[in-house]
């Protein structure tokens, strides 16, 4: 009985883990990401190719992600739509 | 001498407390591994792309991208079944040590540091990630020690 309870509790925790995980992953899928293609140009791409050099791009971020689509194809860093989540400079987005 | 013995007994955990702590640690470890395994499998392309970006392991990226989440699910199953929980804790500890070694290696030698850990854990900085892993290593060690003392 004790073992049965522990397994049941474990399964509840497993279901919660999958639930939370799909929630965060779904949020990521719904978001729109703009990639830095040159020093001061961010473009909306679904399949980027190229490389963001975090050293050269300082202080700019390699990617800027929006929870909802701002509706523009590209923008410069200074004229970026508000509410974006900037990646840390540590990140690369493609090799 | 007598007072020393009394002090020792005061700080000793009861069997039920030890069992409760072991179960709690097991559940936390199970949550972590299933959470990250699911994120890696659902967003597999991104995980693979991230691994391919690390020069140290790029040759094994495809293998690792499937092997890691599958081992995480296996660890979850081992931790879930009370009879195999101890083996699960050992496997969890081994995996966390490997992950911590990988993070340290990437921090020391890689030119660029991509993050592909799965879920909200990706939002941690690499130093935070290192502490996060060390905390879980500590938890697994505590659970194994409690397991040992419980069986004695």
Pick the residue with more confidence: B10 or B135? B135
Taking only the tens place, the pLDDT of each residue in A51-78 is 665 555 555 677 787 877 788 888 888 8
Complex ipTM: 0.77
B chain contacts of residue A13, beta-carbon cutoff 8 Å: 27, 30-31, 34
Give how far A68 is from chain B: nearest CA, Å.
19
The total number of residues written for chain B in this structure: 152
> Residues 6 or more apart from B132 whose CB is under 8 A from it?
B121, B124
C-beta atoms of A16 and B31 within 8 A:
yes
Domains in chain A: boundaries: 1-30, 31-95
C-beta atoms of B34 and A21 within 8 A:
yes
Cα(B108)–Cα(B110) distance, integer angstroms? 6
In order of A46, B22, B86, B87, the CA distances from B90 in angstroms are 41, 13, 6, 5
pLDDT in tens, chain A (95 residues): 678 888 999 999 999 999 888 777 665 566 778 887 776 778 887 666 666 655 555 556 777 878 777 888 888 888 888 877 777 554 455 43
Q: Look at the alpha carbons of A84, B45, B123, A30 in this order and tell me if their dihedral is positive or negative.
A: positive
Please state, as a whole number, how many other Cβ atoms lie within 10 Å of the Cβ of residue A2: 8
- Smallest Cβ–Cβ distance between B80 and the set A2, A7, A94 belongs to A7
State the pLDDT at residue A95. Answer: 36
C-beta atoms of B38 and A7 within 8 A:
no
pLDDT at B40 over 60: yes
Residue A78, both tokens: 């200074």
């Amino acid at each position: 009985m004790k073992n049965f309870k522990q397994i049941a509790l474990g399964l509840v925790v497993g279901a919660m883990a999958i639930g939370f995980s799909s929630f965060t992953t779904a949020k990521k899928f719904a978001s729109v990401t703009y990639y830095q293609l040159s020093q001061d140009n961010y473009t909306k791409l679904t399949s980027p190719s190229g490389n963001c050099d975090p050293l050269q791009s300082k202080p700019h971020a390699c990617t800027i992600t929006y929870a909802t689509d701002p509706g523009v194809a590209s923008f410069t860093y200074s004229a970026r739509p508000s509410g974006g989540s900037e990646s840390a400079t540590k990140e690369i987005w493609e090799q | 001498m007598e007072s020393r013995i009394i002090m020792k007994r005061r700080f000793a955990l009861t069997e039920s407390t030890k069992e409760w702590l072991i179960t709690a640690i097991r559940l936390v470890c199970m949550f972590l591994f299933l959470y990250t395994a699911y994120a890696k499998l659902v967003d597999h392309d991104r995980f693979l792309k991230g691994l391919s970006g690390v020069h140290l392991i790029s040759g094994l990226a495809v293998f690792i991208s499937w092997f890691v989440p599958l081992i995480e699910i296996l660890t979850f199953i081992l931790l879930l079944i009370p009879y195999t929980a101890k083996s699960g804790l050992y496997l969890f500890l081994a995996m966390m040590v490997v992950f911590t070694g990988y993070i340290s290696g990437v921090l020391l030698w890689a030119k660029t540091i991509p993050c592909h850990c799965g879920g909200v854990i990706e939002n941690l900085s690499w130093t935070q990630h290192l502490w996060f892993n060390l905390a879980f290593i500590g938890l697994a060690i505590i659970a194994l020690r409690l397991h040992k003392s419980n069986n004695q």
